[in-house]
A and B are shown apart, each in its own frame.
Chain A
């Protein structure tokens, strides 16, 4: 079923092949996140920073396990992993904990996990395997699009009804990015975008009131300065008043006087920008760019299509996280509730992102491995 790679890699070989600069950047950004959480806790390390650190360590373990796994096994079980994650989404709808009117978390052995965070990556796994295995690329058959469409739409639909529009958006765009890289003709893309725009009025009707409100508020934050617009307005005030050099570490008045809501999660960039100013914000963005740049370069070294699609998909998902989060807190995008990877306080997203980078590193280590076209299992 599989073609043998030229030489089997030992664990030692694998560890040596890990891109440690990537890991260094991840650790740097994580460290910035810990600093920010320490500031938000008003210098109380045991409140948020300690848990953030624990999660990061757990994330590193996942990273190494995933990175050191046999790529063939990952390839082989790609669909199963995807189906398992969808099953988790379905179970969630039945037994999930309802927090703020949304069922996003599932409690398991003392942990609260957000399956939708992992679906972002399992979806890419499934798509990568599908496109890798597609028979006869030359066949002019629109039916080839049916399966990938379902792979994307099914998880998106389950996440939308949770409801969690932000995560659904990230999943959707992540899937689309893989379809794009796999070489889908431009004209289908263009007609797809047009079709999406035309279907907006219909989708609109299915949005919840608070989601509609958020969209309205995005276009006019002054509309409801104490309600939904409050997040955006206060976030802009915090960032703007930080100026070029910032108010200084732990000196952010907006954040420390609780004007900023959800500081430790979605709006953590705002607090960082208030305390470290434009220079700090730009440095953080540059760190993210460097991380994504290296990851893309790593992805392109792989020989197998599966590895390339998977790695590039992970890069895209990571980029979407960062862009949507910063765009949201700077008032460029509606408030949709997407965390900032490695910095926002949140276990599922931390573990999921590390899972993603584990996949990427695995592909990088096994860049020379060739894979045959796979069957369902």
Chain B
């Protein structure tokens, strides 16, 4: 140890010591400054790129621009589904340091709105921090302006003006147009609007079927924001693209008229142009308020809709399947004619038709005509006119189920009418193969008889019936059923459905007589005047009538509970001299075709005849 170390303070040469120590401290200072220089070099030269990106991320925020949904027009160019301004509030978590405080402040600013904070907070926690989450929807203008005046109190919250769907045309159009609602979980992965908090998609009807073209494309903008997330300026902007407008073939007035004609009964109507395949009306009743879903719907209301026995949410014209009943008879008659049965051939109807059935004790199964006392001798014309079941039992049995099935399929039974509605059902055309494949047991003769009068396994829809009748009456021109106008649609390809004009004439005569001659099943619903309609009624049973019941005497329909009554159907065309339209009417549990469905169809035809000239589509420039 040197001598100097003995001392607490050294002063043998104070100045030398101070100079030395100052030198050390100065070198140390220079060294520390060098460290600062090196640190700055590291930040500003080596890591420059990294921090440049972070700085841009800081100041630039990506915002999405909601596209407007395409507008839906009717045949005449009347807007049916439009967009209205909607005032909403979203929150972006990364743009507030304390979202709970922001929401609490929001509650103070708008004490009159309800916020389910628990649900909201859990959603905020689950969602990526930069994705906006909807806090409030559909504010009034007053609420919206109150919020805007206090916007500095709610960090991270953004008032936005978006769009909401509004349906102008009321209940009559609800099913066919459908509605939009927030995306389902599944859609969030696939829907191109999924990043938008307000994204909605079509859930039913045209809104769903044409969702992809209606929804449009998201726009976006990059905005410079400050540390509080406030927009300072817009850096660039890519406008959203509005969804494609759509013009329907539906005539809004006719649709309304049909809906009113159903008079709140449970049922459906389809009106088809038999030359073009355009559906002018596709109505289902009862209905619901289509604007119900633009706000979130209460579970009470929702339950009242789903629990309703008249099933107001279902589009019965394409989604409800009914046995066609006697409305199938024109097609069975055609099958008979094509298979060598003469139109002059007479069948004696004593009210019932018996076949051997070894499974029964008596060994005999009896099939009844709707007219207990029988029709006597009937030929094809008479059979169509009076809808004699025994006649059709007889000829069905002679030609067999497969021939009937073949003709029915040719005209469109058993297939979807439209290709775009996920809710559409395609019905059933029974045949031997069909039964083996779907039920697994062989076909039985008795089932041919049931099928011959449109009962048994047979199922169809209202849209299918009007299409099938249309393609029959227009002389076998295959028409493409359309509900959305398509300017680029191929002008009729003249695809023919095999149909002998002589056969058609026989059937048309039968149908004309059924409506326009005394004793015809729909004579009471005939239209007098130059323009007439013709058609076939149908009454389809929804229950099996036991022999015991029959012996005790058949109960009248109005003595039965509603859901056990027969469906009433009617298919018709008109005017009979130059057929333009096919109409099908189904009244669920309406009792009978002649009593319930034919009068409705008659009214519709009258309307069609009266407004004939108006049913021309108007071309809309922005579609």
- B-binding residues in A (CB < 8 A): 131, 134, 137-138, 140-142, 144-145, 177, 180-188, 226, 234, 236-244, 253-254, 257-259, 273, 277-278, 281-282, 285, 288-289, 292-293, 296, 299-300, 305, 308, 312, 316, 319, 323, 326-327, 330-332
A258 to B18, CA, bound (A): 47
Of the stretches B51-59, B331-339, B360-368, B493-501, the one at the interface is B51-59
A258 to B6, CA, bound (A): 58
Given A300-B19, A330-B36, A332-B35, the answer on whether A140 and B41 have CB atoms closer than 8 Å is no
Among residues of B, the one whose C-beta sits closest to the C-beta of A242 is B44
Among residues of B, the one whose C-beta sits closest to the C-beta of A330 is B39
- A-binding residues in B (CB < 8 A): 4-12, 14, 17-19, 21-22, 25-26, 29-30, 32-33, 35-37, 39-41, 43-45, 47-48, 50-52, 54-56, 58-59, 97, 224-228, 232
* B17→A183 contact, CB < 8 A: yes
Contacts of A326 in B (CB 8 A): 36
Contacts of A296 in B (CB 8 A): 22, 26
Contacts of A331 in B (CB 8 A): 39
Known: A145-B8, A327-B35. 20 other contacts (CB 8 A): A140-B6, A144-B8, A180-B25, A181-B21, A183-B11, A184-B9, A185-B10, A188-B8, A238-B55, A240-B48, A241-B51, A241-B55, A243-B44, A243-B52, A254-B55, A257-B226, A259-B226, A278-B44, A289-B30, A305-B14
* B224→A137 contact, CB < 8 A: no
* A240→B51 contact, CB < 8 A: yes
* A243→B45 contact, CB < 8 A: yes
A175 to B45, CA, bound (A): 36
Among residues of B, the one whose C-beta sits closest to the C-beta of A261 is B227
Among residues of A, the one whose C-beta sits closest to the C-beta of B55 is A241
Contacts of B41 in A (CB 8 A): 278
Among residues of A, the one whose C-beta sits closest to the C-beta of B5 is A185
A259 to B59, CA, bound (A): 8
**Interchain residue pairs with CB less than 8 A apart (30):** A131-B9, A137-B11, A141-B8, A144-B8, A180-B25, A182-B18, A185-B4, A185-B8, A188-B8, A236-B51, A237-B54, A237-B55, A237-B58, A239-B51, A240-B43, A240-B48, A241-B51, A253-B59, A254-B55, A257-B227, A257-B232, A258-B227, A259-B58, A259-B59, A285-B36, A300-B18, A300-B19, A316-B25, A330-B36, A332-B39
Determine chain B's interface SS by DSSP, over half rule: helix
**What's the nearest-Cβ distance from chain A to residue B362, in Å?**
88
Among residues of A, the one whose C-beta sits closest to the C-beta of B225 is A257
* A285→B22 contact, CB < 8 A: no
* B18→A181 contact, CB < 8 A: yes
**What's the nearest-Cβ distance from chain A to residue B477, in Å?**
69
Contacts of B58 in A (CB 8 A): 234, 237, 253-254, 257, 259
Among residues of A, the one whose C-beta sits closest to the C-beta of B39 is A330
* A300→B44 contact, CB < 8 A: no
Among residues of B, the one whose C-beta sits closest to the C-beta of A181 is B21
Contacts of B48 in A (CB 8 A): 240-241, 243-244
Residue among B14, B36, B50 making CB contact with A183, cutoff 8 Å? B14
Contacts of A278 in B (CB 8 A): 40-41, 44-45
Given A137-B11, A140-B8, the answer on whether A308 and B18 have CB atoms closer than 8 Å is yes
A166 to B333, CA, bound (A): 103
* B33→A240 contact, CB < 8 A: no
Ordered nearest first, which 10 A-B pairs have the shortest CB separation?
Answer: A240-B51, A137-B11, A241-B55, A278-B44, A257-B226, A258-B227, A241-B51, A243-B48, A259-B227, A240-B43
Contacts of B43 in A (CB 8 A): 236, 239-240, 330
Determine chain A's interface SS by DSSP, over half rule: helix
Contacts of B7 in A (CB 8 A): 137-138, 140, 185
A142 to B7, CA, bound (A): 9
* B44→A273 contact, CB < 8 A: yes
* B10→A273 contact, CB < 8 A: no
A257 to B52, CA, bound (A): 15
A51 to B21, CA, bound (A): 39
Contacts of A308 in B (CB 8 A): 18
A273 to B9, CA, bound (A): 43
Contacts of A330 in B (CB 8 A): 36, 39-40, 43
Among residues of B, the one whose C-beta sits closest to the C-beta of A258 is B227
Among residues of B, the one whose C-beta sits closest to the C-beta of A180 is B21
A305 to B52, CA, bound (A): 51
A185 to B18, CA, bound (A): 12
Contacts of A312 in B (CB 8 A): 18, 22, 25
Contacts of A253 in B (CB 8 A): 55, 58-59, 224
A305 to B16, CA, bound (A): 12
Given A145-B8, A241-B52, the answer on whether A226 and B97 have CB atoms closer than 8 Å is yes
Contacts of B14 in A (CB 8 A): 137, 183, 305
A236 to B50, CA, bound (A): 11
Contacts of A300 in B (CB 8 A): 18-19, 22
* B8→A142 contact, CB < 8 A: yes
* A240→B32 contact, CB < 8 A: no
Contacts of A288 in B (CB 8 A): 33
Contacts of B17 in A (CB 8 A): 183
Contacts of A138 in B (CB 8 A): 7, 11-12
A142 to B41, CA, bound (A): 45
Among residues of A, the one whose C-beta sits closest to the C-beta of B58 is A259
Contacts of A257 in B (CB 8 A): 58-59, 224-227, 232
A141 to B6, CA, bound (A): 10
A182 to B44, CA, bound (A): 40
A269 to B36, CA, bound (A): 12
A294 to B212, CA, bound (A): 75
* B26→A240 contact, CB < 8 A: no
A137 to B6, CA, bound (A): 12
**What's the nearest-Cβ distance from chain A to residue B33, in Å?**
5
Given A183-B18, A185-B9, the answer on whether A244 and B45 have CB atoms closer than 8 Å is yes
**What's the nearest-Cβ distance from chain B to residue A185, in Å?**
6
Contacts of B29 in A (CB 8 A): 289, 292, 319, 323
A182 to B51, CA, bound (A): 45
Among residues of A, the one whose C-beta sits closest to the C-beta of B48 is A243
* B9→A137 contact, CB < 8 A: yes
Contacts of B9 in A (CB 8 A): 131, 134, 137, 144, 182-185
Contacts of B21 in A (CB 8 A): 180-181, 183
**What's the nearest-Cβ distance from chain B to residue A209, in Å?**
18
* B8→A241 contact, CB < 8 A: no
* A241→B54 contact, CB < 8 A: yes
Among residues of A, the one whose C-beta sits closest to the C-beta of B226 is A257
A186 to B232, CA, bound (A): 58
A172 to B45, CA, bound (A): 34
Residue among A144, A281, A292 making CB contact with B44, cutoff 8 Å? A281
A215 to B408, CA, bound (A): 85
Pick the most buried of B9, B37, B224: most chain A CB atoms within 10 A of its CB: B9
Among residues of A, the one whose C-beta sits closest to the C-beta of B21 is A181
Given A137-B14, A181-B22, the answer on whether A240 and B8 have CB atoms closer than 8 Å is no
Contacts of B45 in A (CB 8 A): 243-244, 278
**What's the nearest-Cβ distance from chain B to residue A316, in Å?**
7
Contacts of A145 in B (CB 8 A): 8
Contacts of A277 in B (CB 8 A): 44
**What's the nearest-Cβ distance from chain A to residue B21, in Å?**
5
* A240→B52 contact, CB < 8 A: yes
Pick the most buried of A145, A186, A241, A259: most chain B CB atoms within 10 A of its CB: A241
Contacts of B22 in A (CB 8 A): 181, 296, 299-300, 312
A226 to B227, CA, bound (A): 11
A257 to B58, CA, bound (A): 9
Among residues of B, the one whose C-beta sits closest to the C-beta of A179 is B9
A240 to B41, CA, bound (A): 9
**What's the nearest-Cβ distance from chain B to residue A169, in Å?**
14
A285 to B40, CA, bound (A): 10
* B32→A323 contact, CB < 8 A: yes
A12 to B529, CA, bound (A): 129
A293 to B21, CA, bound (A): 15
Contacts of B51 in A (CB 8 A): 236-241
